[in-house]
Amino acid sequence: MIESAEEFIRLRFSETPEEYGRASSEPAAPEVWRDVIDRYPEARFWVAHNKTVPLEILQVLANDPDPKVRSMVASKRKLTPALLAGLATDPDESVRLAVARHKRAPKHVLEQLCTDSWEEVRAMARDRLERGH
């Protein structure tokens, strides 16, 4: 278990594969994740990348100013339908495309994305609906 923001940063930016692997697979308490988000904005993408990050932290990161962070959030399996619906209206097309690709995107969200401004998002949403999403 990752015990502190400093430990997460040390692990993530280590050159040792075992250490940066721990940063992507080991859990941490929500307070530790919040501390990383607050004190190390350059690491928010890597918080979202962690396989164990709790939904409450993903909800925070879904509103991150960086579209790369929001796109990573949009690709997480554990997202709720409400969170996916919110991300489907993101101003960044890469975030909306990640929602269109999401295995658990609800039908109504995919239908909404069929009218997206970007053809790639529209095509992905249509394809998912045609395949029974």
Residue range 53-62: mean pLDDT, rounded: 98
Taking the CB of residue 94, how many other CB atoms lie within 10 A of it? 16
Give residues with Cβ within 8 angstroms of 107, minimum separation 6: 129, 133
> How high is the mean pLDDT of the chain?
97
Please state the pTM of the whole predicted model: 0.95
**Res 33 pLDDT > 90:** yes
How big is the chain, counted in residues? Answer: 133
Residue 107 pLDDT: 97
**Digit-coded pLDDT (tens) for 108-127:** 999 999 999 999 999 999 99
Angle between helices 17-25 and 5-12 (to 10 degrees): 130
Helix, strand, or coil here: 1? Answer: coil
d(CA 67, CA 129): 25
pLDDT over 90 percentage in the chain = 98
**Res 133 pLDDT > 80:** no
d(CA 57, CA 41): 14
Residue range 33-51: mean pLDDT, rounded: 98
Give the CA count within 13 Å in the CB-facing half-sphere of 103: 3
Residue range 68-94: mean pLDDT, rounded: 98
Residue-wise DSSP of 71-122: HHHHT-TT--HHHHHHHTT-SSHHHHHHHHH-TT--HHHHHHHTT-SSHHHH
